[in-house]
Amino acid sequence: MTISRRRMLGVSAAAVTAASMSSLARAASKRVVVIGGGAAGATVARYLAKDSKGDIDVVLVEASERYTTCFFSNWYLGGFRTMDQITHDYKGLESGYGIRVVHALAQSVDAASQTVGLSDGSTIEYDRLVAAPGIDFRYDLIDGYDESMADNEMPHAYKAGPQTALLRKQLEAMDDGGVFLMAPPPNPYRCPPGPYERASTVAHYLKTHKPKSKILIVDPKDKHSKQALFREAWETHYPGMVEWLPGKEVGALKAVRNGEIVTEKASFKGQVLNPIPAQKAGKIAQIAGLTDDSGWCPIKDASSFESALVPNVHVLGDACINGAMPKSAFSANSQAKVVSQAVRKALTGSRQFEPRFRNTCWSLGAEQDSFKVGADYRAEGDKVVKVDGFISSTGEESSVRVKTAREAEGWYQAITSDMFS
Ligand SMILES: Cc1cc2nc3c(=O)[nH]c(=O)nc-3n(C[C@H](O)[C@H](O)[C@H](O)COP(=O)(O)OP(=O)(O)OC[C@H]3O[C@@H](n4cnc5c(N)ncnc54)[C@H](O)[C@@H]3O)c2cc1C
């Protein structure tokens, strides 16, 4: 493809096509390929390119041209954000830092030749590979459920985008008096408070549009993240609307069928169904040999997140097993800065500071009523360990909750700009 034709098609000169990649000369003697342009991968690519100042050729392989954040997707469901406000592109990474963004699917990794095979048949060499593919879903554990059903009929909406929009449409079409039936996933999974924040923002929508409706949560777990805080929010803002049933009463999610979720111990009817499957690392991690029997990716050193199974590959974000950090965008972004330094050290001999990690997860219990949990962490061998933590208290003044909600909004602005601009 010639430059002029590329221009005609409206593709920026910096955005090279996957097909042209294999014939492209390296932009520097060392090359890092990053698979996945989400919270983890976009941040690693940005910090690597920014800090190496041209010494490292950074290639970001991302399947989609635009990234809708799972974080704040519950805000979209509740009507607090538009889809546009939670969707980002990669233009800033291309034009601001010279990162070569390739929109293709990474389909194979050859650790011996240090190459990644792409969906268009081309291959890209790497000196270091960063794998940040996020999660995949265990559809095999739920009779009657698969990817096509999730995309078209019964969205889990646990990868944000079209499924999130479909779920919102289904809520809009639901009768006043209908039941929104959610089955959260078993541990470990992306964003431990996510399903319960979703119940809260959906409750906000229902309270304001369909007040006779109910939310039923059939959980395989006996306890969940920020339980007392969510319970308090539901009782205060949506009395009688949200019912949560624990694992000891319902057991694991087994099947879905028209209007029904079937668990080990019972079956439940609803008008809008939101089964969220058990999870594992994104598919390419398994193909690349980065996963163990758990379906997640072990690391051998928490100060570099280098894979325990494949040399010269670093794996971070939701896909990895790191020890104490939860699977969150905040965690992924924090890990990415450590990985970026570790990769630069390995390739250019630059200095790495002592790794420090941080996470905070804010949840919206109701409009202007937000609470948070968080911690600081450090690297210890192959594990990230917690140093200290905090959690909001029940019974806090509403002014504190309003301030916490503002903090969450500020965090969203800051973290998305730290990833994409
Ligand atoms: C409802 C919900 C609410 C949440 N709320 C919060 C919150 O408030 N705060 C918070 O910190 N976290 C939150 N999270 C969690 C957060 O979204 C994830 O932890 C975070 O996105 C993980 O980042 P990641 O980079 O590992 O994966 P992702 O962000 O999923 O990125 C992975 C990327 O890799 C790409 N990819 C995968 N495989 C390939 C391949 N083979 N080739 C090319 N590209 C590929 C995907 O297209 C994707 O863009 C929430 C999650 C959900 C579901």
Ligand 1 contact via 70 beta carbon (within 6 Å): yes
| Ligand 1 geometric centre to CA of 161 (Å) | 11
Instruction: Specify the DSSP element, H or E, that contains 268.
Output: strand 267-269
What percent of the chain has a predicted confidence (pLDDT) above 70? 94
Looking at the CA of residue 67, tell me the nearest atom of ligand 1. 49
Of the residues 108, 318, 420, which should be mutated to test ligand 1's pocket, given the most ligand atoms within 8 Å of the CB? 318
| CA-closest residue to ligand 1 atom 1 | 194
| CA-closest residue to ligand 1 atom 41 | 106
Q: CB neighbours of 30 closer than 8 A, spacing ≥ 6?
A: 55, 56, 57, 127, 128, 347, 348
Distance CA 93, CA 100 (A): 8
Ligand 1 contact via 195 beta carbon (within 6 Å): no
Instruction: Give me the residue spans of the domains in the chain.
Output: 13-134+282-351, 142-277
Ligand 1 contact via 106 beta carbon (within 6 Å): yes
| Ligand 1 geometric centre to CA of 387 (Å) | 25
Distance CA 315, CA 404 (A): 32
Ligand 1 contact via 321 beta carbon (within 6 Å): no
Q: Given a cut of 90, is residue 34 above it in pLDDT?
A: yes
CA angle 227, 231, 236 (to 5 degrees): 150
Q: CB neighbours of 19 closer than 8 A, spacing ≥ 6?
A: 1, 120, 121, 122
Q: How many CA atoms lie within 13 A of 136 on its CB side?
A: 21
CATH superfamily, region 13-134+282-351: FAD/NAD(P)-binding domain (3.50.50.60)
CATH code given to domain 142-277: 3.50.50.60
Average pLDDT, stretch 56-82? 98
Of the residues 66, 109, 190, which should be mutated to test ligand 1's pocket, given the most ligand atoms within 8 Å of the CB? 190
Ligand 1 contact via 56 beta carbon (within 6 Å): no
Ligand 1 contact via 282 beta carbon (within 6 Å): yes
- Reported as a single tens digit per residue, the pLDDT across 180-238 is 999 999 999 999 999 999 999 999 999 999 999 999 999 999 999 999 999 999 999 99
pLDDT value at residue 242: 98
| Ligand 1 geometric centre to CA of 344 (Å) | 24
| CA-closest residue to ligand 1 atom 19 | 328
Q: CB neighbours of 58 closer than 8 A, spacing ≥ 6?
A: 31, 32, 34, 45, 48, 49, 52, 97, 98, 99, 100
Model confidence at 22, in pLDDT bands (50, 70, 90)?
A: low
Q: Given a cut of 80, is residue 24 above it in pLDDT?
A: no
146 C-beta neighbours (distance < 10 Å), count:
12
Sign of CA dihedral 79, 186, 238, 150: positive
3-state secondary structure 98-135: CCEEECCCEEEEECCCCEEEECCCCEEECCEEEECCCE
Ligand 1 contact via 81 beta carbon (within 6 Å): no
| Ligand 1 geometric centre to CA of 2 (Å) | 34
| 160: amino acid identity, one letter | A
- Write down the pTM of the prediction: 0.94
Q: Given a cut of 60, is residue 347 above it in pLDDT?
A: yes
Sign of CA dihedral 135, 138, 142, 148: positive
| CA-closest residue to ligand 1 atom 52 | 70
Retrieve residue 277's tokens.
């499957």
Average pLDDT, stretch 148-173? 98
| 265: amino acid identity, one letter | K
Average pLDDT, stretch 256-263? 94
Ligand 1 contact via 150 beta carbon (within 6 Å): no
pLDDT value at residue 5: 28
Mean of the per-residue pLDDT values of the chain: 94
For the chain, first and last CA: distance in Å? Answer: 28
Mean pLDDT lowest for which of 3-17, 237-251, 281-295, 314-328? 3-17
| Ligand 1 geometric centre to CA of 420 (Å) | 14
What percent of the chain has a predicted confidence (pLDDT) above 90? 92
pLDDT higher at 25 or 335: 335
Q: Given a cut of 80, is residue 62 above it in pLDDT?
A: yes
374 C-beta neighbours (distance < 10 Å), count:
17
Model confidence at 28, in pLDDT bands (50, 70, 90)?
A: confident
Does the fold of domain 142-277 match that of domain 13-134+282-351?
yes
Looking at the CA of residue 316, tell me the nearest atom of ligand 1. 26
Looking at the CA of residue 69, tell me the nearest atom of ligand 1. 17
Model confidence at 53, in pLDDT bands (50, 70, 90)?
A: confident
Q: Given a cut of 90, is residue 11 above it in pLDDT?
A: no
- Are the beta carbons of 266 and 260 closer than 8 angstroms? no
| Ligand 1 geometric centre to CA of 317 (Å) | 8
- Reported as a single tens digit per residue, the pLDDT across 373-396 is 999 999 999 999 999 999 999 999
Ligand 1 contact via 36 beta carbon (within 6 Å): yes
Q: 92, 100, 15, 95: which is closest to 57 by C-alpha? A: 100
